[in-house]
Structure 1
Amino acid sequence: MFFVDTIEVAGLGNRSYLAGGPRTAVAVDPPRDAGRVIAAAARRGVRIAYVVETHLHNDYVSGGLELARLTGAAYLVPAGARVAFERVPVADGDTVEVDAGLTLRALATPGHTPHHTSYALQENGRAVTAFTGGSLLIGTVGRPDLVEPRLTGELARAQHASAHRLAAELPDDTAVLPTHGFGSFCSAGTAEGDTSTIGRERVGNEALVKDVDAFVADLLAGLDDVPAYYAHMGPANAGGPASVDLTPPALADATEIAARLAAGEWIVDLRSRLAFAAGHVAGAVNFEADGQLAVYLAWLLPWGKPVTLLAESPEQLAQAQRELTQVGIDRPAAAAIGSPADWVPEAERPRAFRRASFAELAEAYDSPGRPVVLDVRRDSERAGGHVAGSVHIPVHQVRDRLGEIPAGTVWVHCAGGMRAAIAASLLDAAGRDVVAVDDSFASAAASGLRMTRIDAGSPGTACRASEDSAA
C-alpha cells in the first residue's frame, strides 16, 4: 500500500506532497520550511529517500535543497534546469524505486517552464497518482508567461501538448495532485474543488476540451499581473537557497520604531484590519497575518528593504516569520510585540481611520461633495463590474501611483476587505484621509451604487482570482 500526504502552503496557494510506502518516501516540491516535511515523515515512520522538483519555482523559495541536505535524500531536479548546486538530473522516462512495488516515473511536461517535469507514482507498474506541479492543474493549467516574454506563446502551446500527454498516458482514475492552483498566481485560471483525477480533467480541463488555437488564445487573453517578487524566486532557487534562520528578531521599543520609520524602513503591522483601523503607529502599513501575508507584502515591498514586524503575540510573530521565508524575506530587521500603546511614543497618539460598508459609501455618494472611490481590484475583476466614476489602481500599484489619486477623502474598496485594508494603510501612511470599505463587493449593487461594466472583449476578463470572495 502507498500513502500520499498533502502539505498545504495556504498563504501561497500551493501544495507539497510526501508519498511512499511502509519504509521510504519521496517529497515533491517541498516548501521552504523543510521541517514540516520532516515532521510529516516522522509521523509516518518513514525515511525520505528522494526529494524531487517539478520545476524551478517562480512563486516561492524551495526547501528542496535544504531537505535533501538534512535527510541525505537524493535531490532530483529536471535536467534542463540550470542550477548552481549538485543534484541528480532527471530526464523524461527516468524512474526511481521509492519503496517495494512503488516507482516514480518522470514525464517531461514543458509549458509552465521549458524544463517542467511531472511525476507518476506507480504501484506495481500502474500509475496511481500524478504530481503535476504547474502543468495540469484542476480545471486549468499553470501560467506560461513567467519565464521569458518571447517564449510565452511557444510555452502556451507546449502546455496544451503536455496536458494531452498526461491524459493519454495515465489511467482515468489516476489522482491529479498539482503544486499550484489553490489560489496561487502561478495558475492561469480559477480551479473548482481541490481534488481531481485524469478522467475528470479529461472532460473539464480547458486544455483538454479546447483545440490548441482556441486554448492558447483564451489562455493568453486571461493572463493578469503577477507579483513583482516572482522575478527573484527563480534565481534564488537556481542558485541554491540558504538555510532558514527562524530565531526571533531583536525587539524594538517605540523610540526605535520611530527611528526606523524616519529612516524609510517599512513597519508592518500584522494585526487584523479591524484592529489596525482602530489605532496604529502613524506611518505603519497593515498586512494581516491571517491573510495572504507573504504574497502581498513581498509584492508591494521594495525588494530588499528592511522590515520591522509588529505582532500581537510571539506566536503571531513566529508564524509570520515562517511564512515570509517562503518568499525570500528571511530576516526581519526588528520586531515588537503588544499593541499601539507599546509602539507609539508617549507624546503621540495612535492614528486611526474609519471602516465602512458599501451602503455607507452609497449614502456618502448621494451627499454633497462626492467622495473619491478607489477600486484596488485587478483588471480582470473590474471588467466584471465596478462602481461608476471610481478610480482604478490595483493594490500592487497603489504605492507607486499615489499622485494619481484625486484630492479629498478616499473610500477604498476591493472584493472583500483585505486588499482595501492594505491600500488604506498605504494611503494613511502617506497622510491621506481614508475610509476602508470592509464589505463584500456583491453588496455594492444592492446598496444602490450605480454600477458599470467593461466590454467583454477587454484584456484580462477571462482570469479571476481565487481569493476574490474574501479579499
Structure 2
Amino acid sequence: MEVIPFRTPGLGDQTYLLTHEGKGVLVDPQRDIGRFLDAAAERDVDLRFVLETHLHNDYLSGAEQAALRTGAELVLPAASAAAYPHTPAFHLEDIPGTDGLTIRPIHTPGHTPEHTSYLVLIDGEPVAVFSGGSLLVTSAGRPDLLGPERAGTLARLQYGSLRRLAALPRDVGLYPTHGEGSFCGVSGAGRHTSTIGDELEGNALLGLPDAESFAGELLADPMPIPAFYAHMGPANVLGVPAPPEGDLREIGPEELPEELRGGVHVIDVRPRGEQAAGFVPGSTGIELGDDFGSWAGWLVPYGAPVALVAEPGQDVAEAVTQLSRIGMDDVRGVVRDLGDIGSARFDLVDLEGFLALTSGAQVLDVRMPVERRAAPLPGATERFLPDLVAEGVPAELDRDRRVLVACGSGRRASIAATILAREGYRAVVLNGSGAHDVAAALEA
C-alpha cells in the first residue's frame, strides 16, 4: 500500500491517492483533477473509489468529475444528500474493494454534520484513516463554519468524533484533508500527516476532559471566515461541472477602462514592486502566490467577471486554476502591457524607512485580530484586510495625508494599498517586515 499526498498550500489542504495491488482510492479531490488522474495513470493504477469526507467549505470538489472520468465508485457521507449519483457511506457499514482492501466509514460529525472519516483495512487490518476535517495533526477541524448558531453543538460533536478516531490502533496512519494554512482548521503544526499514536501523545485537544471544555477551547478565538466559503458547500451539494478550458484572451490596455465600467473586476497579479510603480485605478492588486485564489475569492464579489493584469511571461494559467478551484470561472482575459493607463501608485519601504515616517503619521494595521492581539501596534488604526472591502476605509483616516500600511510581511499591506487608492488615499507599504517588527522597534 502507498499513500500519495497532493498538497495545495494556498488552501492548506491535501488530497490523497491510496494505491494497493494496482487499484486506487482518491480522497477529497479538488476541482483540478488532472494532477490526480495523471498520478494514477503514471503508476498504472485503476481508480476504484473516489471518497469525499464532507461537503467542503473551502473549495469546489472534483469528486463527481473524477468518478465520471474514470468509472470509479463515488462515495459520499450518507447525510450529505448530494444531488448527483453516489454511494452513501453509512457508519461502520464496510464497503468492500478488491485484493483484501476494505473501506470502513466512521461518522465523525463536528466540522460539518455529515462528516465521515474512512478507515482503510488491508486483509482485515486497519492501516490508514482519512479524517478530512475531523482529527487533524495536533488540532481539529473548525466547528463554526456553518454559523455561530450551530457552532456549539458541532464543537461538542467534534469532541466525540476525535475520541472515536483516537480509539483506533496507535499505528494507524492519520491523513487529514485540512492542515496548516487552512481556514478550516483551528491551528497548524507544520506537519500534514501523523499516526493515531502520535496524536494521542501530542494533540492537546485529546487531553481535554469533557465536551464543554473542548468546545470552549475550539471556539475561544475563532479565525475569520473567507467570504467565498459561503458558496462552496451549496455548490458541492448540487454538483460541480468541469472547469472551463481554452486559452485566455489577450486584452489590450485600452479595453480595461471600458471593462471596469462594465462591471469587470480587474485583478493585478504582478509582483508588488511592479504594482507600486503603476497600476490601473480601480483594480485590486493581489500578486500571484500560493494563496492568490483565496484572497481573490475573499476580496472580489463572488461570481463577478474578472480580468487579469500580468507581466509578460507570467504564469496566468496558475492564477486561472486557483480561481477555478473556488468557482470563479468568468475570467475575461489578461493584459500583458499596461502602457500609460497604470496611473495609480503606492510606495514600498523597508522597516527603517517605515520607522522614519511613523512620528505623527497615520498607520493602518490590516492583520487578523489574533495577530494584532499577539503584537499590538501602538497608535495604529486597525482594520483586517477583507474588512476594508466589506466595511470600507476607517473614517478616521485623512485622505490628504499618507497612510502607512503594515501587515505581517507586506503582502496584505500591498493589497490594501490598491484598495485604499480606489478611495483616494496614497499608501506607504511596509515591505519585507511586519507590524510586529515595528511594534518591537518602537518598544526598544
- Selected match of 1:354 from 347, 358, 361: 347
The alignment status of 1:305 with 2:329, answered yes or no, reads no
Shift of 1:257: 1.0
Deviations 1:257-281 (A, max 9, x none): 1211233421111111122112322
- Percentage of pairs with the same residue: 37
The alignment status of 1:57 with 2:56, answered yes or no, reads yes
Matched with 1:187 is: 185
Provide the secondary structure at the position in 1 that maps to 2:192.
coil
- Selected match of 2:209 from 186, 208, 211: 211
The alignment status of 1:444 with 2:434, answered yes or no, reads no
How many angstroms apart in 1 are the aligned matches of 2:437 and 2:227? 31
How many angstroms apart in 1 are the aligned matches of 2:377 and 2:66? 49
Matched with 2:382 is: 392
How many angstroms apart in 1 are the aligned matches of 2:263 and 2:404? 26
- Selected match of 2:338 from 327, 343, 354: 343
Provide the secondary structure at the position in 2 that maps to 1:246.
coil
Q: Structure 2: 5+ residue runs without aligned partners? A: none
How many angstroms apart in 2 are the aligned matches of 1:349 and 1:188? 40
Name whichever of 199-208 and 33-42 sits farther off: 199-208
Shift of 1:67: 0.5
Matched with 2:250 is: 251
TM-score normalised by L of structure 1: 0.90
What one-letter code is carried by the residue in structure 1 that aligns with 2:192?
D
The alignment status of 1:401 with 2:400, answered yes or no, reads no
Shift of 1:297: 0.7
8 Å CA contact retained: 1:246, 1:321: no
Deviations 1:382-433 (A, max 9, x none): 1112211101100111123125251021111111111111111111233211
Matched with 2:369 is: 379
The root-mean-square deviation of aligned C-alpha atoms, in Å, is: 1.7
Provide the secondary structure at the position in 1 that maps to 2:135.
coil
What one-letter code is carried by the residue in structure 2 that aligns with 1:109?
T
TM-score normalised by L of structure 2: 0.95
Deviations 1:63-116 (A, max 9, x none): 001111111111100010121111111101122334412222111111001110
Shift of 1:284: 2.0
Matched with 1:201 is: 199
Provide the secondary structure at the position in 2 that maps to 1:80.
helix
Name whichever of 285-294 and 69-78 sits farther off: 285-294
Shift of 1:237: 0.3
What pairs with 1:8-47 in structure 2 (closer than 5 Å)?
Answer: 8-47=7-46
Shift of 1:314: 5.7
The alignment status of 1:174 with 2:172, answered yes or no, reads yes
How many angstroms apart in 2 are the aligned matches of 1:182 and 1:97? 33
How many angstroms apart in 1 are the aligned matches of 2:312 and 2:410? 23
The alignment status of 1:5 with 2:25, answered yes or no, reads no
Provide the secondary structure at the position in 2 that maps to 1:245.
coil
Q: Structure 1: 5+ residue runs without aligned partners? A: 452-471
How many angstroms apart in 1 are the aligned matches of 2:66 and 2:157? 31
The alignment status of 1:224 with 2:223, answered yes or no, reads yes
How many angstroms apart in 2 are the aligned matches of 1:329 and 1:375? 29
Deviations 1:300-334 (A, max 9, x none): 11122211011224661111111111111013022
Name whichever of 222-231 and 255-264 sits farther off: 255-264
How many angstroms apart in 2 are the aligned matches of 1:178 and 1:349? 44
8 Å CA contact retained: 1:188, 1:222: no
What one-letter code is carried by the residue in structure 1 that aligns with 2:339?
V
Matched with 1:460 is: none
How many angstroms apart in 2 are the aligned matches of 1:191 and 1:159? 19
What one-letter code is carried by the residue in structure 2 that aligns with 1:376?
V
Matched with 1:129 is: 128
What pairs with 1:94-109 in structure 2 (closer than 5 Å)?
Answer: 94-109=93-108
- Selected match of 2:403 from 406, 410, 415: 410
8 Å CA contact retained: 1:280, 1:352: yes
What pairs with 1:273-288 in structure 2 (closer than 5 Å)?
Answer: 273-288=272-287
